[in-house]
C-alpha cells in the first residue's frame, strides 16, 4: 500500500477499516497491521521473551484475525480484540512446551526507545544502557506480571482493556501491576546503584573554571596568588 494512501486513511477508525475489508477492500488490512504492529509485538514479546518468536506470533495472530473478521462484533475495541488473539497465540506456544533463551542484547531492537529530539552520542549511549537495564528487569518479571506491565504501563491500555485481553478480573490486573512495579523498582535500583558513584562528576575543567572566576572576583591577580593549587576533581 502506498504511503499516500496510508496517510489518507489515517482518520478512519479501526472499525471503519474492518467494515471496508469485509466489504472487499482487502488491501486495507495492511493499514490495520501497520497501525497495531507495535502493540501486538510488545504483547507477544512480553509473553515469549524472544524477538523472533514474537514476530512469528504476530504473523499467526494477523492471519487468524483476518480469517475471523466476520466474528468481530464490536463489543470491545478492535485493538483489544486483536491483542487478545495475539495473547492467546503466544500463550498457546508456551503451553506447547517451547522454552526460549533470554534475548541477545546485541540483536534486540530498540523496542522501548521513545521518539523525540535527537540527542548527543553520549546521551544516546546512556539511554540505550538505561533501556537495556529496564528490558532485562521486565524480562525477569514472572510471566503473569510481565504481560500486565507491558499492556498497562508500556502500551498504556486501560485496566478494563487489559483484563479483556487476558481474560482475568480487572482487580487482578491492578494487583499484578502494583506487584510488577514494586519488583521493577527494586531490580532497576539494584542494577543502577553501582553507577551512583559516577553521578555529578566534578571534572578538572570545571574545577579550574570555578577557581579562576572566584579569584577574579576577589581581585587576586596572578602575582597575588599563593601556590595553593591542590586540584580537586578528576579528569
Higher pLDDT, residue 51 or 228: 51
- Report the pLDDT value the prediction gives residue 119, as an integer from 0 to 100: 46
pLDDT (tens digit per residue) in 78-88: 999 999 999 99
- Report the pLDDT value the prediction gives residue 173, as an integer from 0 to 100: 97
**Long-range contacts formed by 80-84: CB under 8 A, 24+ apart:** 80/157, 80/161, 80/164, 80/165, 82/32, 82/36, 82/40, 83/36, 83/39, 83/40, 83/43, 83/151, 83/157, 83/161, 83/165, 84/164, 84/165, 84/166, 84/167
Question: Please, which pLDDT band fits residue 58 given cuts at 50, 70 and 90?
Answer: very high
- 128-132, 157-161, 186-190 — which one is most confidently predicted on average? 157-161
How far apart (Å, rounded) are the C-alpha atoms in residues 126 and 30? 36
Q: Find the angle CA(178)-CA(181)-CA(183) to the nearest 5 degrees.
A: 110
Q: What value does the CA radius of gyration of the chain take, rounded to a whole number of Å?
A: 26
Q: Which residues pair with 197 in a beta bridge?
A: none
- The domain made up of 120-199 has a fold known as Arc Repressor Mutant, subunit A (1.10.10)
Q: What residue spans in the chain does CATH classification 1.10.1740.10 cover?
A: 1-101
- 8 A C-beta contact, residue 17 and residue 32: yes
Question: Please, which pLDDT band fits residue 192 given cuts at 50, 70 and 90?
Answer: confident
- Report the pLDDT value the prediction gives residue 166, as an integer from 0 to 100: 94
Candidate from 7-11, 110-114, 224-228 with smallest mean pLDDT: 110-114
Place of cell 551512583: 196
Question: Please, which pLDDT band fits residue 229 given cuts at 50, 70 and 90?
Answer: low
Place of cell 488491501: 27
Sign of CA dihedral 161, 165, 169, 171: negative
Retrieve residue 205's grid coordinates.
575543567
State the pTM of this model.
Answer: 0.67
Sequence-separated (6 or more) residues with CB below 8 Å from residue 5: none
**Long-range contacts formed by 53-56: CB under 8 A, 24+ apart:** 53/93, 53/98, 53/100, 54/90
Residue 223 falls in which region: left (phi positive, over 0), alpha (psi -120 to 50) or beta = alpha
- Report the pLDDT value the prediction gives residue 116, as an integer from 0 to 100: 42
CATH 1.10.1740.10 fits 1-101, yes or no: yes
Question: Please, which pLDDT band fits residue 126 given cuts at 50, 70 and 90?
Answer: low
Candidate from 110-119, 125-134, 200-209 with smallest mean pLDDT: 110-119
Helix (H, G, I), strand (E, B) or coil at 203: strand
Percent of the chain at pLDDT exceeding 70: 74
Per-residue burial over 200-215, b if 16 or more Cβ lie within 10 Å, else e, is eeeeeeeeeeeeeeee
pLDDT at 39 over 50: yes
Higher pLDDT, residue 152 or 227: 152
Amino acid at each position: 500500500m502506498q504511503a499516500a494512501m496510508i496517510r489518507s486513511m489515517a482518520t478512519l477508525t479501526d472499525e471503519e477499516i474492518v467494515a471496508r475489508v469485509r466489504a472487499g477492500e482487502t488491501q486495507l488490512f495492511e493499514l490495520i497491521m501497520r497501525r497495531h504492529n507495535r502493540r501486538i509485538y510488545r504483547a507477544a514479546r512480553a509473553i515469549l521473551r524472544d524477538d523472533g518468536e514474537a514476530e512469528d506470533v504476530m504473523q499467526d495472530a494477523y492471519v487468524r484475525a483476518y480469517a475471523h473478521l466476520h466474528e468481530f462484533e464490536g463489543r470491545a475495541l478492535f485493538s483489544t480484540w486483536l491483542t487478545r488473539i495475539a495473547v492467546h497465540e503466544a500463550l498457546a506456544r508456551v503451553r506447547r512446551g517451547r522454552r526460549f533463551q533470554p534475548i541477545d542484547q546485541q540483536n534486540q531492537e530498540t523496542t522501548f526507545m521513545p521518539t523525540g529530539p535527537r540527542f548527543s552520542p553520549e546521551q544516546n549511549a546512556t539511554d540505550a544502557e538505561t533501556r537495556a537495564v529496564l528490558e532485562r528487569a521486565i524480562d525477569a518479571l514472572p510471566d503473569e506480571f510481565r504481560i500486565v506491565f507491558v499492556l498497562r504501563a508500556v502500551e498504556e491500555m486501560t485496566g478494563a482493556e487489559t483484563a479483556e485481553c487476558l481474560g482475568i478480573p480487572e482487580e487482578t490486573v491492578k494487583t499484578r501491576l502494583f506487584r510488577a512495579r514494586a519488583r521493577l523498582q527494586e531490580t532497576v535500583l539494584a542494577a543502577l546503584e553501582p553507577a551512583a558513584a559516577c553521578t555529578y562528576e566534578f571534572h578538572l575543567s570545571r574545577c579550574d573554571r570555578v577557581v579562576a572566576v572566584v579569584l577574579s572576583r576577589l581581585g587576586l591577580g596572578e602575582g597575588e596568588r599563593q601556590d595553593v593549587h591542590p586540584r580537586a576533581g578528576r579528569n
